Structure 1
């Protein structure tokens, strides 16, 4: 039997407290770690979340954890999930389940005490791995350990059935391939994703965008994104990308998921804003994508022009456009250009209505005309730090 060794999280006091509480109510082997923690520990990746599967019913698990003095949050009772907080660490505890009914978006479940039934409803074999508190791994599909070690992402059972249960598994297939795949995508899984790509339109935009950004945050998402395009999945999310060269270059140069996403979108701010809204991306991400959509910026752009663009668009937008330009046209100047943008203290417009009032100009349309003319000259002269009142007085005297 494969075993996890030298895993501090398995023997931590926080973990011991949770397992002691559950086993006091359900006996030995009533609870096992499942999914990401087991998979990541097996392949030497960081473990940063703790999911536990248990034979105990949700109410029994809650009672056992509370009896042990642990905080319990009923995070998803309908699906059998509660969260135990042990020494400030969250442990998601879920009763073993089997699907009773699915519609491609959500499932109605029934609780079970059969580990194999629970494994059969999971998405991929490398995620259907369990480990007891000693680190002993249980592999109900018989191939999860081998898949994880070999870098294979293979659906549990029939891939068409798994996808029809939840169409988000299409994106999860590519996301896990981006993070864990080390060979060509599983052919049967890829064919099933292509066949059911239309099902993505039935999902909530929030679920889709969250999965997409996780995929793009992978160390190298390029093989996964190319496979998505070939399977007809990419153009279900936004207009088809004719050429992935810019995306490939940016993905190699930067691990920023939002910057990578910008390379998959049109160079039209209004189009990009519409796509971002349809994906229900956070407002800050939407604005960043729209600002970056003005087109790649040559890193050799002059300092004065960079300052003007930074004044008008903000540091993040100009930095994104420089990095996009550098990826497409690699060469010198990128570090210098980014450093200029990062280090330049964006000045505030140094005059305002009070200054005009001191010149005896009454509030009204004339204020706006003079201030607009001042801003244009001040920017054209590269944001001088002096001579503001003289400039303002001259502009005010003009008809």
Structure 2
């Protein structure tokens, strides 16, 4: 059952009222995710606005009202209004003039249905009046939303031909909102999967990670593999890796860890740093994402034996990844502050050991025993040091 949009918190934001006053209620409509999620009764972060006004008119009207704007996508008709309760992208109505599967040449449109017709799914083409919150729905989006159905506007194959990324968007939206599968969409995505090869790696990575961040993407990824879609974007993800992902998702849920897309991507890869490096480069992952992926790929069967020792050696985030991937209990690491090993080389020199390699060996031996014993107090460190000094002098 869909909710009353007026019950959505975002509809009462002061900034939206100010924007409506500046641009005129007859000239704008809230559109897309905020309307869709508001009807579902789920939290909304970003609000998008469609307008009949040209970008220059939006900038001028906002300026007169004291609203700062940033021309974030002016070539595509988008101006971002900086409001006290969050930015809003204001985009002039558009229609596609030409598409090649990777980018579209657009022209400005003059009416709401024309703008709605270029959107991908029916559930994303819902327009709400800024004052009455009355919803315009030309393609049955509300019915699809209530039924848990993700359906392309128009013929699925034709819409994918316009923008190949819609294949991955379909799987992401179907995972999040879908109940029953739309067979036309499923068949079109499988038939046109090869077209994903022409997309930039960054766009593919963004969609793949967004899919992996959802609560349980495993059934969708299994379907993508069976239909030949997953192999186009991530050929390393074969059956054993999909099973590893299912185990990881279960471990995250059981232990109370939030879904993490990079950790889940690691589960889809064999435990090989070289493979992780290759995939990170292919997907153009950030340096931080690449580092995590490679560290997770270095996981070993014994990682779960001493979780705090692992966290001390690798940092708690890396240890958490490796423990969960190993099916071990990562909860001891959650929120754990890594202790600082208090013993310094000078203390060993003060005991009569000449500065040099011997000091380093003793220091490392004491630290290893301190970690193995669970980070005991300073009195125990002194006892461990005395034992290691006796060994060195023997």
Instruction: Please give the range of the TM-score, normalised by the shorter of the 2 chains.
Output: 0.7 to 0.9
The two structures have a TM-score, normalised by structure 1, of 0.84
**Root mean square deviation of aligned Cα:** 2.9
| Distance in 1 (alpha carbons) for counterparts of 2:335 and 2:133 | 50
| Distance in 1 (alpha carbons) for counterparts of 2:355 and 2:4 | 81
**Contiguous gaps of at least 5 residues in structure 1:** 327-333
Kindly tell me the number of residue pairs found equivalent between the two proteins. 378
2:36 counterpart residue number: 39
| Distance in 1 (alpha carbons) for counterparts of 2:367 and 2:8 | 61
**Contiguous gaps of at least 5 residues in structure 2:** 253-257
The two structures have a TM-score, normalised by structure 2, of 0.85
| Distance in 2 (alpha carbons) for counterparts of 1:374 and 1:298 | 22
**Cα pair distance change 1:68/1:380, threshold 3 Å:** closer
Question: How far does residue 83 in structure 1 lie from its aligned partner after superposition?
Answer: 0.9
**Cα pair distance change 1:296/1:145, threshold 3 Å:** farther
Matched residue of 2:81: which SS? strand
1:277 to 263, 268, 281: 281
> Is the contact between residue 28 and residue 52 of structure 2 (CA under 8 Å) also seen in structure 1?
yes
> Is the contact between residue 3 and residue 136 of structure 1 (CA under 8 Å) also seen in structure 2?
no
1:331 counterpart residue number: none
Structural mapping, 1:127-276, within 5 Å: 127-133=124-130, 134-141=132-139, 143-184=140-181, 186-238=182-234, 239-243=236-240, 244-254=242-252, 255-258=258-261, 259-276=263-280
Q: Deviations over 1:216-240 (max 9, x none)?
A: 2223223322222122222222213
2:116 to 116, 119, 134: 119
2:354 counterpart residue number: 361
| Distance in 2 (alpha carbons) for counterparts of 1:100 and 1:163 | 16
Structural mapping, 1:339-354, within 5 Å: 339-342=331-334, 345-354=337-346
| Distance in 2 (alpha carbons) for counterparts of 1:314 and 1:139 | 50
| Distance in 1 (alpha carbons) for counterparts of 2:332 and 2:8 | 45
**Cα pair distance change 1:347/1:19, threshold 3 Å:** closer
> Is the contact between residue 349 and residue 359 of structure 2 (CA under 8 Å) also seen in structure 1?
no
Which range is displaced more, 158-167 or 387-396?
387-396
**Cα pair distance change 1:6/1:315, threshold 3 Å:** closer
Question: How far does residue 111 in structure 1 lie from its aligned partner after superposition?
Answer: 0.5
> Is the contact between residue 104 and residue 166 of structure 1 (CA under 8 Å) also seen in structure 2?
yes
1:290 counterpart residue number: 294
Q: Deviations over 1:123-143 (max 9, x none)?
A: 1111111111211111122x2
